[in-house]
Amino acid sequence: MSIPKDFPVFLEGERIYLCPVRREHAMQYSIWLNDRETSNLLMMHRVLSLEDENEILDGIIKSKPEHLVPVGIWLKEPLTFIGGCSLFDIDQRNMHCFIGIFIGDKDWRGLGYGGEAMRLLIDYAFKTLNMRKVCLNVFSHNPGARRCYEKIGFKEIGRYREHRYIDGEWRDDIMMELFRDDFYSTQK
């Protein structure tokens, strides 16, 4: 299947496209982020109305690319919107940034699409934005994401113990980082 001419591909992987965030996807984001299982894996703990999500997406779309690089994750076959990821808190002077990701559609989790999206965006951070380090936070109750990040080359550098109260339990917030040289040495 070929992609439509007006389909704005930002980065292309083997099985996915990363495309600019678009306002018409607000409803889908709202559905995903209001799902309790999904929101418990992210740092989202409030109900988001469609109006809230429209406001958030408007802010993201208007943001300066030197501060935020948000993209939607699309499967190539079948052409399907499955999640989102972004580079944020981009610090050009100190050459580091953060990355965040979620696969909103549960049917597509655990199949490697998140790892592929992260590798594409991390490569962009290192080669195009000239970052030397990419950082992230992950909850201790999300071992699947943590394994994915470790496969990519992220290392745990610390944790905030019992930092988040989620579903009646205290959870650790794990800090991880990945340096440019480490990423390219693990991707060979």
Which residues, 6+ apart, have CB-to-CB distance to 7 below 8 Å? 17, 19, 79
Which strand (E) or helix (H) includes residue 62?
helix 50-62
Identify whether 5 is part of a domain: no
Task: For the sheet with 155-166, list strands across it.
Answer: 11-12, 16-20, 68-75, 80-91, 96-103, 133-139, 169-179, 155-166
**Total domains in the fold of the chain:** 1
Higher-confidence position of 69 and 128: 128
Identify whether 2 is part of a domain: no
Identify whether 76 is part of a domain: yes
**165-187, pLDDT tens digit by residue?**
877 888 889 999 999 999 999 87
Q: What is the pLDDT of residue 47?
A: 59
**DSSP assignment, residue 44?**
-
Identify whether 6 is part of a domain: no
What 3-state DSSP class applies to 94? coil
| Domain CATH code at residue 30 | 3.40.630.30
Query: pTM here?
Result: 0.83
Write phi, then psi, for 117 (nearest 5 degrees). -65, -45
Percent of the chain with pLDDT over 90: 45
- Find out whether 16 and 76 touch, Cβ atoms under 8 Å: yes
Residue with structure tokens 């440019």?
A: 180
Q: What is the pLDDT of residue 95?
A: 96
Identify whether 77 is part of a domain: yes
> What is the C-alpha to C-alpha distance for residues 139 and 100, in angstroms, rounded to an integer?
12
**25-47, pLDDT tens digit by residue?**
777 777 776 666 655 555 555 55
Q: What is the pLDDT of residue 166?
A: 74
**110-156, pLDDT tens digit by residue?**
999 999 999 999 999 999 999 999 999 998 888 888 999 999 999 99
Which strand (E) or helix (H) includes residue 26?
helix 26-34
52 has pLDDT over 90: no
Identify whether 4 is part of a domain: no
Identify whether 3 is part of a domain: no
Domain range for 150: 11-186
Identify whether 1 is part of a domain: no
Confidence of residue 22 (pLDDT cuts 50, 70, 90): confident
